[in-house]
Amino acid sequence: MPITLENDATVAAIGERFHGVARHLNSFIYLYIGTGLGAGIIMDGHVYSGHAHNAGEIGHVVVEPGGRECYCGNHGCLERYVSLQAAYEFCGLDPMTALPDDLLEVDPAVFDRWIDTVLTPLRQGINMLECIFDAESVIIGGMMPAALLDKIIQRLPPLYQSVRGRYLTGSRLKTGMTGSDTAALGAAALPIFDEFNPQFQVLMK
């Protein structure tokens, strides 16, 4: 099975459902910050993959018309602002060779300036997900080092008003698992998830 960002986002969401902050959630969106940005969607306890199994491509929602060029052919895609690659580029690291932990060695003031560029696009993305799916929570995790992810999430409020707007930010937005084990835990849980979700076959590319 080829591993793609969409696979990682989905299996990370399953891992979060079994091992993380989503253990008591029936519907949630897992935003996976990797080289790009993907979303694992769990609705009523089942993975939602879409007609052609492309659901969760939140990274290619245009949030800045005419903005940064994206390999998909559009300009201003969300992942051109919120992703490890975007962080590497802003912080002066080589996106072809940099690793997530390299961001821990970046001058904190530089990383904070990158966060400044992240906040509005990420709020837009969360607003869209909340309004479209009305999930219990949006969980942010993936490959961004935990200490740096915490810095981003701490600065995100106030979130835009949405269908979830009457709920406290702490229930609308949660910090998920991070690191290389995130998707691995979900992949290990796939057979269990399939067994307990007999109405929906977990489909992966």
Looking at this protein, which amino acid is placed at residue 155? Answer: R
| Domains along the chain with CATH numbers | 5-196 (3.30.420.40)
pTM (2 d.p.):
0.85
Q: Which residues touch 163 (CB under 8 Å, ≥6 apart)? A: 130, 131, 134
Peptide bond into 158 cis (omega under 30): yes
Structure confidence by residue, pLDDT tens digits, 34-44: 999 999 999 99
CB 12 within 8 A of CB 30: yes
For residue 107, the model assigns a pLDDT of: 98
pLDDT tier, 197 (very low <50, low <70, confident <90, very high otherwise): low
Residue 105, amino acid: E
Which residues of the chain form beta strands (DSSP E)?
28-33, 37-43, 46-47, 137-142, 173-178
d(CA 202, CA 180): 21
Closest CA to 197 of 56, 58, 13: 13
Higher-pLDDT residue of 111, 185: 111
pLDDT > 70: what percent of the chain? 84
pLDDT in tens, 167-184: 888 899 999 987 666 655
In DSSP notation, 128-182 reads: HHHHHH--SEEEEEESS-HHHHHHHHHH-PSPPP-TTTTS-HHHHEEEEEESTHH
pLDDT digits (tens, 9 = 90+) for 121-162: 999 999 999 999 999 999 999 999 999 999 999 999 999 999
Answer for the pair 14, 190: CB distance below 8 angstroms, yes or no. Answer: yes
Are the beta carbons of 82 and 122 closer than 8 angstroms? yes
pLDDT above 80: residue 70: yes
Find, among 40, 33, 48, the residue nearest to 16 by Cα.
Answer: 40
